[in-house]
């Protein structure tokens, strides 16, 4: 009789262990809001093919919750292109353009 009782107890414990493992596995598949945000931002950065400092800056902005986070130009060439586009939109010429370009490129 003792043998049957110990088999029943062992089987019961095995069942509890298995159900506990299944519950733990379910908990791991549910992401916390921060984990979900990280996954979403990572996906967006991948779609934009960002790398290096631009990716770091984008991820920082995205994870902090800023909407439509844009990476700032990282190289001097990209900065120059961006500043030129802004100056063209503002129809700047001559000294006004020089002043604008100087301030844009320095900041």
For the segment 56-82, what is each residue's pLDDT rounded down to a tens digit?
888 888 888 765 545 555 678 888 888
- State the pLDDT at residue 95: 93
The range of the structural domain enclosing residue 21 comes to: 1-30
Into how many domains does the chain fold? 3
Question: Cα–Cα–Cα angle for 46, 47, 52, nearest 5°?
Answer: 40
Q: Mark whether 44 and 15 lie in a shared domain.
A: no
- The two tokens of residue 45 are 């950065």
Q: Count CA atoms within 13 Å of residue 106 on its CB side.
A: 6
Q: Mark whether 41 and 26 lie in a shared domain.
A: no
| 19: confidence class by pLDDT, cuts 50, 70, 90 | low
């Amino acid at each position: 009789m003792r043998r049957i009782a110990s088999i029943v107890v062992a089987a019961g414990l095995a069942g509890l262990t298995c159900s506990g493992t299944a519950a733990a596995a379910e908990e791991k598949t549910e992401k916390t809001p921060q984990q979900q945000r990280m996954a979403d931002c990572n996906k967006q950065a991948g779609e934009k093919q960002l790398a290096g400092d631009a990716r770091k800056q984008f991820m920082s902005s995205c994870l902090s919750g800023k909407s439509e986070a844009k990476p700032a130009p990282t190289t001097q060439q990209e900065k120059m292109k961006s500043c030129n586009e802004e100056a063209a939109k503002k129809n700047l010429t001559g000294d006004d353009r020089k002043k604008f370009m100087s301030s844009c490129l320095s900041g």
